[in-house]
Chain A
Amino acid sequence: MKEKKYSTDYTLTELMLICAARQVRDKDIVFIGTGLPFLACMLAKNTHAPHLVPCSEQGQIDANPLLWRTPRAIGDMAMTAGAMMTTDLLGVMHRLSYGEFDLGFISGAQVDKYGNVNSTCIGDYKKPKVRFPGSGGANPIASWTKRHVLVFVHRKHQFVEKVDYITSPGYFTGPGAREAAGLPAGTGPVAVITTLGLLKFDEKTKEMYLCAVHPKVTVEEVKKNTSWDLKVAKNVEQTEPPTVEEIRMVREELDPFGIYLKREEFQKKAIEFLMNK
């Protein structure tokens, strides 16, 4: 086997994305959304999971966007030209509730220790302090995929004791709660990939615990950025750093313009481009 060359030049967001890609298995039928999870799937497809089947809420089944460019949205032309099938939102959702999707990715504004995610609002539902876009497909994805992975920037105000609104179900209040709420047994979040490390859920209690920290990150730092008293594995491992090739692929092939990974800079440049007559 070829020896892996590890990179030392990477951002935590890039590492998060690469760790998310490692959660994908070959032949997974994956529900992809816009943003980092999308890049993660494309990275996986170009590395260890060439047979993964990317599908989106917009109706594309087995899409092949990197033939053209980094898609700007799941409804992007790049997602459709080159796909094997196009149906529509209900068409894909019916495949989801039928139990045919292996993997989904979920992100949001808040997550709690049982992996419940809020992407709807902060504060009172009817007069919120901050309103976000809402569930979209997140609730059904977290309900009906065989396993789903949470991707979060690790900040204290996002890792909270109790989310203000459960948009996407984790394990609710603990073991058995998903089944009691009408969801299929054996489903639920399997991992949380953050900017600081990798967390998993205890098989018995369904509570989130710290499994691995990224290079140069300490357990204390993760605990400090979590609102509840975070449980920690006996032997906390260190995340495998990104390889030189993974970083090259991310920067040169997956997001060469920095649409996602250098968002602010990209947006500034886009407006300048438009205004420059």
Chain B
Amino acid sequence: MKQPAKESKIMSMTEAISKHVNDGDTLYLPWGAPGGPAAAVHELIRQGKKDLTVVSMALSGYVDPLFYGDQVKRIITAWVGTELVGLAQIFRRKVQNAQVAIEDYANFHVGMMLWGGRANVPFIPVPVDRASGILNEKGCLGDKKYSIVECPFTGKKTVILPTFQPDVGIIHVQRSDAQGNAQTWGTHVDFKSEVHLACKKLIVTAEEIVDSDVISHDPDRTMCPAFKVCAVVEAPWGAHPEAMYGHYDNDLAYRIYFEHSTYDDENTKKWMDEWVFGVKSRDEYIAHYIEKFGYSKLMRLKPMPFYSGSVNYGRPKPEVF
């Protein structure tokens, strides 16, 4: 049987963000270290999408620039930081000035809220203590943060949380076909439990666009079916300065440089003007990196190869008996 021709969803980052992210959206972003959709976040900033609610289990440094303007109104998460480098300085100042409304859970809980959204159920029971700040300090969700019910089967007190189905999610992957059958490998961070499928639609940005045959020869690695995807963007170096397994290492020196550039508002503005507003695309960002630091600095991030063996899925013989 011949496969029908499929519509390509490939478009530029500019088009993908402008078409598919609206002001007022609830946006899902992955933890992102490795593989944060950094290129997409920079485009979100350039387009000034506003009144955003961000839902995420955790957010690494790639997302800190998104807090620069007043685009993010609310954030529901467990962690925003830069790990060994320091603190997410821009985020930190925004919360300290009460310019971003936050709701804290543990990453486990936000994961479960998304997992529930993915299954299309209204609430989800979670394991959590009832005495720490996680339940007792209420932020932007107010009384809708949680409820305690009696388990109908055991009679035990059980904490339930609301579930989320974000309007749109943005994920960066190693490869995708033109329709959005996207594949990742290495550390999946959010992806093996498919919490990203809680989103109503997904923008996929990929290091590489490949033929659908490549995908269908290894369907175990596909973490998102094309029908969930509204846009596919080819974005090499799309996660920098975070790592993308098999493509590049995390740029520790640059992450430190970013952290040190954001200790105060004045220097943060300089960094934003140079690296976000001063370029139009990820290609220009990478060109600027090469111009400023040298080509060898970029190339030092290329990892040593570490191939998996291939497996034999087997395909059926045509005869029935």
Residues of A within 8 A of B (CB): 34-35, 57-60, 72-77, 79-81, 86-91, 93, 96-97, 116, 118, 120-121, 125-140, 143-144, 165-169, 172, 177-178, 180-183, 259-260, 263, 267, 270-271, 273-275, 277
What string of 1s and 0s marks CB contacts (under 8 Å) between B78-107 and chain A? 111101110110011001111001001111
Interface residues of B in 288-303 (CB under 8 A from A): 293-294, 297, 303
**How distant is B123 from chain A, measured CB to nearest CB, in Å?**
17
A277 partner residues in chain B, CB cutoff 8 A: 293-294
Determine which of A89, A133, A140, A260 lies in contact with B190 in the assembled complex, contact meaning CB atoms within 8 Å.
A89
Given the contacts A136-B78, A139-B134, A58 and B187 also touching, CB distance less than 8 Å: yes
- Nearest to A72 among chain B residues (CB) is B252
- Please state if A178 and B77 are interface contacts (CB–CB under 8 Å): no
Interface of chain A, helix or strand or loop or mixed? loop
Given the contacts A75-B243, A128-B95, A34 and B84 also touching, CB distance less than 8 Å: yes
Q: List 19 A-B contacts (CB under 8 A).
A: A58-B189, A73-B33, A73-B83, A73-B250, A87-B192, A90-B195, A93-B111, A131-B95, A133-B79, A134-B80, A134-B104, A139-B134, A143-B128, A143-B129, A172-B132, A177-B131, A181-B132, A182-B159, A271-B253
Report if B263 contacts A (CB, 8 A).
no
- Please state if B131 and A88 are interface contacts (CB–CB under 8 Å): no
- Please state if B139 and A125 are interface contacts (CB–CB under 8 Å): yes
CA A72 – CA B85 in complex, angstroms?
A: 9
- Please state if B78 and A72 are interface contacts (CB–CB under 8 Å): no
A263 partner residues in chain B, CB cutoff 8 A: 84
- Nearest to B245 among chain A residues (CB) is A77
Given the contacts A60-B187, A72-B83, A129-B96, A93 and B129 also touching, CB distance less than 8 Å: no
- Please state if A181 and B188 are interface contacts (CB–CB under 8 Å): no
B85 partner residues in chain A, CB cutoff 8 A: 267
Q: A134-B77, A139-B132 are in contact. List 8 more A-B contacts (CB 8 A).
A: A59-B187, A75-B31, A86-B192, A93-B108, A120-B133, A121-B95, A130-B96, A271-B257
**How distant is A39 from chain B, measured CB to nearest CB, in Å?**
11
Determine which of A59, A135, A177 lies in contact with B106 in the assembled complex, contact meaning CB atoms within 8 Å.
A135
- Please state if A90 and B115 are interface contacts (CB–CB under 8 Å): yes
Report if B314 contacts A (CB, 8 A).
no
Determine which of A72, A80, A137, A181 lies in contact with B84 in the assembled complex, contact meaning CB atoms within 8 Å.
A72
B193 partner residues in chain A, CB cutoff 8 A: 87-91
- Please state if A167 and B132 are interface contacts (CB–CB under 8 Å): yes
Interface residues of B in 243-281 (CB under 8 A from A): 243, 245, 249-250, 252-254, 256-257, 260
Give the total of B residues in contact with A, Cβ under 8 Å.
68
A129 partner residues in chain B, CB cutoff 8 A: 96
- Please state if B79 and A134 are interface contacts (CB–CB under 8 Å): yes
- Please state if B106 and A139 are interface contacts (CB–CB under 8 Å): yes
Given the contacts A76-B250, A134-B79, A168-B132, A89 and B111 also touching, CB distance less than 8 Å: yes
A135 partner residues in chain B, CB cutoff 8 A: 78-79, 104-107, 134
- Please state if B98 and A274 are interface contacts (CB–CB under 8 Å): no
Determine which of A59, A127, A138 lies in contact with B188 in the assembled complex, contact meaning CB atoms within 8 Å.
A59
The 7 A-B residue pairs with the shortest CB-CB distance in the complex, in nearest-first order: A133-B81, A136-B79, A181-B131, A90-B193, A88-B192, A166-B132, A139-B106
CA A11 – CA B21 in complex, angstroms?
A: 51
B57 partner residues in chain A, CB cutoff 8 A: 89
**How distant is A89 from chain B, measured CB to nearest CB, in Å?**
6
- Please state if B83 and A34 are interface contacts (CB–CB under 8 Å): yes
- Please state if B33 and A91 are interface contacts (CB–CB under 8 Å): no
- Nearest to B36 among chain A residues (CB) is A75
CA A125 – CA B78 in complex, angstroms?
A: 14
**How distant is B290 from chain A, measured CB to nearest CB, in Å?**
11
**How distant is B149 from chain A, measured CB to nearest CB, in Å?**
13
- Nearest to B306 among chain A residues (CB) is A81
- Please state if B137 and A88 are interface contacts (CB–CB under 8 Å): no
- Please state if A183 and B95 are interface contacts (CB–CB under 8 Å): no
- Please state if B134 and A86 are interface contacts (CB–CB under 8 Å): no
- Please state if A169 and B95 are interface contacts (CB–CB under 8 Å): no
CA A213 – CA B286 in complex, angstroms?
A: 52
A182 partner residues in chain B, CB cutoff 8 A: 128-130, 157, 159
Determine which of A81, A96, A126, A267 lies in contact with B260 in the assembled complex, contact meaning CB atoms within 8 Å.
A267
- Nearest to A173 among chain B residues (CB) is B131
A273 partner residues in chain B, CB cutoff 8 A: 253
B83 partner residues in chain A, CB cutoff 8 A: 34, 72-74
Report if B112 contacts A (CB, 8 A).
yes
